[in-house]
Chain A
C-alpha cells in the first residue's frame, strides 16, 4: 500500500474515531436523558399512573438522539472500506471530516440528552401538580432536542464533501 502525503496510512483511524465518537457520545446523552427522565416518570407514576403515557415524551426524544447518532455512524461506515490494491483511497481529508461528523453529532447529542434528562425529570414532576406545564415542557424538550438536530445537519452537510 502506497503511503502518499494526502492519504496516509493512519487516515482510516480518524474516520473510525468519528464513528465511535458519534455512537458513544450520542448514546451517552440518550442514556442520561432516558435515565434521568425515567426517575421522574417513576416518581410521577406512583401518584398519577394515568399521566405516564404523556410523561414518556422525554424518553422518546432521548431515543431520537440515539437515532441521529446511528444515522451518522451508518453514513460514515459506508464510506469506509479496507484498502485494496496498491493505492489507499481514503484521504486524510476524509478522515478528519468523518471525525468532525462524528464529534459534531455525538457531542451535540450529549448536550441534548443532558438537557432532555433534566427538563424531563423536573418537568414531569411539575406536570403532576400543574397540568398547564405540559405544553411548556414539550416546547422546552423540543428546543433541547433541536440541539442534537443541528449537530446532525452539520454532520450531514460535512458528509457530502467526501464524494468530491
Chain B
C-alpha cells in the first residue's frame, strides 16, 4: 500500500510538464523575474542594432545624396557615427548607474522610516 500513497502525493513527471506548457507562474510561485530587466535588454539590442546599421547606413545614405560621391567624407562620417553610438552607450550606462543608486537610496530611506 505504500506505493499507492507515494503515487497519490507526488506528481509524476508528465504532470509537472503540464505546468510548463501553460504558465508556470499561474499555478506555482517561482522567481521568474529576469536577472536583467527588460529595459536593459532593449537598450542593449538597440545599441547592437545601431552599431551595425548606423555607421555603414550613414555612409551609403550620404555618399551620393549629401557628399555627391565624395566617399572620403562619407567614410569619415561613418566613423564619427560609430563614435556617436559609443558616446551614447557610455551616457546610457552612466545614467543607469545613477538611477540604480537613487533606487537604493530610496529603499534605504524607506527602511529608516
A interface vs B, CB < 8 Å? 49-50, 52-54, 56-57, 60-61, 63-64, 67-68, 70-72, 74-75, 78, 138, 145, 149, 152, 156, 159-160
Contacts and interface: CB of A to CB of B under 8 A. Distances in A.
A145 B87 CA distance: 13
B83 to A, nearest CB: 7
A116 to B, nearest CB: 12
Q: Which 8 A-B pairs have the closest CB atoms?
A: A54-B93, A67-B82, A71-B75, A64-B82, A71-B78, A67-B55, A160-B72, A75-B75
A159 B78 CA distance: 15
A67 B72 contact: no
Contact of A67 (B56, B93, B94): B56
A68 B81 CA distance: 11
Interface string B48-75: 0001000110010000000000011001
Contacts of A56: 44, 89, 93
Contacts of B86: 57, 60-61, 64, 145
Interface residues of B, number: 28
A138 to B, nearest CB: 6
Given A52-B36, A156-B75, 13 more contacts: A49-B36, A56-B93, A60-B89, A61-B86, A64-B82, A64-B86, A67-B56, A71-B75, A74-B59, A75-B71, A75-B72, A152-B79, A159-B71
Interface of B: 35-36, 40, 43-44, 47, 51, 55-56, 59, 71-72, 75-76, 78-79, 82-83, 85-86, 89-90, 92-94, 96-97, 100
